[in-house]
Structures are given as structure tokens and as C-alpha cells.
Amino acid sequence: MLRIHKLFQTTILSICLMGFGGFSQSPTIPFGTNNSYAYGTMQTISSTADATAQAWYDYWKTNFTRVCNNTKTLAINDYNAQNAYSEGQGYGMLLAAYMGDKVLFDALLKGYIDGKNSRGVMHWTVNCSSVIAQNGATDGDLDAAMAILVANKQWPNSTSPFNYAQEATAVINAMETHMFTTCNGRIVQKPGDAFGGCDCTNPSYYATGYYRAFAKHLPAKAAFWNKAADDGLSLLLTARNSTTGLNPAWTDQSGSITSGGNCNVAVSGGGARTDYQFDAARTPWRIVVDYLWWGTPNAKMYCDKVTSFANGKGIANIVAGMKTDGTNNVSYKNSAFTGAFAIGAMSTSDQTLVNNFYNWWTSNSVTSGNVGTRLDDRPYFQNALRTMYILVASGNFWNPYAATNTVTLSDNEVFNKQVDAYPNPFEEDFTISLEGNFDCTLTTLAGVELENINSTNQIKLGKELPKGFYIVKVKQGELFKTFKMEKM
């Protein structure tokens, strides 16, 4: 009953915001256009990665958002919960921005802004009306700032209800002032605005690919942000285990793998501060983005090393907590760990390995029933992260400052130019056009097959479909391209 009530609230939120024009503005890069990355290797084993991403996003959105009022939503930290972490708010903003969900994005941004402290960063824990735990955690603000930059690309020149460019600038400048410090010439990221520094830092917060995007947004601050990125990678490479490449959750300015930093933090989930636990698990995601977006050599060096470890251990044997030498702390598994290794492998040129990692991960992620040896992705943390990771894996976690954002749904550019689906959106039906004989599969976003047809040159589809979104896969020989179609 509570979940039905939440869905009703979400519907009311959408209706209310549609009146202000938020829903009607289409994103510059709609979800499902599968932009390629400038560097790295994308999986080729699945043609339904977008459908998986959509299904996972829908599950997260239904279960881990709480509508506060008709302009404000929180990304909550448990099923039917009241509270939200800044970490989760940042995740939610990134997901909504990349999915082109402006209604939800603006409502989450409102929740983020309302949760800010006097330093201009979000308090760690809030509910709809009050602050539960004061002051910020840097990772949440980093993700929020990056999400606002993505929104600024999706809906450029937006001023209502928010000026995205100005909001991003405010958060980025607040982080520079309150969440970074300099230690012996090295820029070190503090874990929060009110604690940490030279003697305490969290390597999993180092989103070095984002820093380079911040430098693009604020050219006058480019020297700072580019140095912060390079210094962060240098610290991370020092902190990692020389054999496995795994980094501790917490350390200090020296990158000591054993100190755990002089950090008075509560540690739970998968190990101690010096272990590769729930904090540390996110590191491959954050660092592979630096490589996929910018081709940073040290980012590739980090990811290649941990990928070699994961391959040797076996992707099916990755558990949710290890010593940095790879020894298991626990026996259970989830996507926060396994999914991060799956996308971390994208730094390599090994197509078979990338495909195998992706396939095992996505085939074994579950949110109900008997988990057994599979991945328990019911809790908020791993559920949000698996959705983030699938956006990376499917090519939907694009760089807003890339020279181009071109559609590349197949390795064969000629094929991509030849096949077309139009009009999109459509009201009556749509046409698939491709010279020669081809196969066409029409599915729901959840992957339920509706039609599977062989045709030549041209075919019309969709006349009997209800309004909504659909996935169309067009295949000719070994080449394929997918389209996300909307019936209005």
C-alpha cells in the first residue's frame, strides 16, 4: 500500500511540473542513443543493455525516491524510508540527468539545494523537512556537481526552475574552498567540508574524470582542477596493493596502504578502514570514467591492474569486502563490487573479457527471491550503483565536454547511417528503412518481445501499440542497431 501511494505521489509530481514546462523539454542527448566513448572498450555481447538500464532505473526510481512536495524529491536510503544521504542524492541526480528525466532531476536538485549548509554543500543526512546529520561528505557533492553539468548539456540555457550553469559553478567553487587542501605541494581531497585533510582522505571519493570536466566548465580554475585530478591519481596509485591493485577505503596524504588515515569515521560493510570495503568498491567506476572520457594514462594503469586481479580471481568470485591483498572478508556479493569491476575492465582492449564480465554481472543481479550465490542488489547502495554502472556499460554515461556526442550503436558506421527509424516520436506508426533483407525485433523497455519480423527494404510497425516507449533492434547479418521509440 505504501508503494502504491508513492507511485501516486510521483504521478502528481509529474503532472504539477508539466505545467511549468519541465517535462516537455526534450534532452539534447536522449537516453538510448548509446554514445561511444573516446577511449576504452564497450561490451558487444548484449543488444539489450539499454532495456536493462531502463528496467534498473525504473526499479530504483520507484523504490528509492520520496516526493516531499510538488517541486522537491529525495533519493532515500531504504525502501519507504524518510531520510536521504547526500551520497544518494548525488547518485539520483546523475541517474535522472543521464536518463533525460528532467522532472525528477529538477525535483532532486531542489532537494539537494534545500539540504545545503552554510558552506554551500549538502548536509550528510536530511529528510523532507529537517537536517538529521550535519555537514557534507565530498562524494555526494562531486556527483551532484557533475549531474548539474550533465543537465546543463541536456537542457542548455535553462533558467527555470534553475540556472544549471550557475548552480554547478556554486557547488564546484564551494568544494574547492571547503573540500580540498594542499599537503606538501599535493592537492588532497578532504572527505568532507568539516573533517579530514592531510591526515585523512578517502580514495574512493576521487572522481578524477569529473575534476577535468570542472576544469572545462570553469577555465579560470582549470589549473587547480587538472592538478587535483593528477595528484589524486598519483595518491591512488601509491595507495594500492602492489599485487592486486586494490586500494584501502581510507588513507592519508602519503597514500599509505596500512594507516587507514587518522580518520574518526564509523566503518561498516565488508571490512576495516584499511580494507577494500564498501567505500573502496566504487573506485574502479570513478577512475574508469577518467579513462573513458579523457584517455588519462594513469587512470588506465589503475583499472588495468584491478581488472587483472578480478580476472584471476574470477568475476563470479568477487565478494562484497576484501583485504587489499584480495583475501575475502565476507562471502556475500553485490553489484557495488562486481559491477565496478565489470565496467573497470572497459579500460582494457580485451573484448572477450569485457563481454564476459558484463554478461555474468548483469545476468546475476537480483532484487528478490533467494539470492544464493548471485548478487544481492536489493539495498539502496548497490541498487543505485548498479544502475549507474549499467549507464557506463551501455554508453549512456557520456562526457558532456566531449568534442562530439555521436550515435554509434554498431561498430560499422556505414551500417549505422543506412538504417533509420522514423518518425520518432510517432503517433500512428513508424517506418524501419534499410536496403536489403533484415530482421526487426520490437520489445518493451523491460525486454518483453512484442514482434519479431523479417523484411526487405522497409517495414511499418507500431500501429496497434499503446502510448509509451519501445526498443527496436534492426539486424542485418552480424550488424545491428537499436532505437528507442516513443508513441505519443
Annotate 49-72 with three-state secondary structure: HHHHHHHHHHHHHHHCEEEEECCE
CATH number of 413-487: 2.60.40.3080
C-alpha cell of residue 281: 568498491
Q: pLDDT tens across 205-252, in order?
A: 999 999 999 999 999 999 999 999 999 999 999 999 999 999 999 999
Grid look-up 542485418 returns 476
Q: What is the pLDDT of residues 3-56, one digit of tens each?
A: 333 333 333 343 343 333 333 378 999 998 867 899 999 999 998 999 999 999
Instruction: Identify the three-state secondary structure at position 421.
Output: strand
Distances (CA, A) of 329 to 190, 357, 399, 452, 468: 27, 22, 35, 47, 45
423-439: pLDDT as tens digits: 888 899 999 988 888 89
Query: What is the C-alpha R_g of the chain?
Result: 22
Nearest one of 272, 453, 341 to 472, comparing CA atoms: 453
Q: What is the pTM of this model?
A: 0.80
Render the burial of 381-405: b for 16+ CB within 10 Å, e for the rest.
bbbbbbbbbbbbbbbbbbbbbbeeb
Total residues belonging to the chain: 488
* Residue 422, C-alpha cell as written in the block: 522514423
Strands (E), 230-370: 365-366
Burial class (CB in 10 A: 0-12, 13-18, 19+), 159: exposed
The ranges assigned to domains in the chain are 413-487
Percent pLDDT > 90 in the chain is: 74
Give the separation between CA 200 and CA 466, rounded to whole angstroms: 55
Q: For the segment 244-299, what is each residue's pLDDT rounded down to a tens digit? A: 999 999 999 999 888 777 776 766 666 788 999 999 999 999 999 999 999 999 99
- Parallel, antiparallel, or unpaired for β 365-366 and 375-376? parallel
Q: Are 310 and 344 in contact (CB under 8 A)?
A: yes
Backbone φ and ψ for 428, nearest 5 degrees, come out as -95, -70
Categorize the per-residue pLDDT at 417 as very low, low, confident or very high, splitting at 50, 70 and 90. Answer: low
Asked whether the beta carbons of 231 and 188 are under 8 A apart, the reply is yes
Contacts of 118 (CB under 8 A, 6+ apart): none
Query: Chain-wide mean pLDDT for the chain?
Result: 89
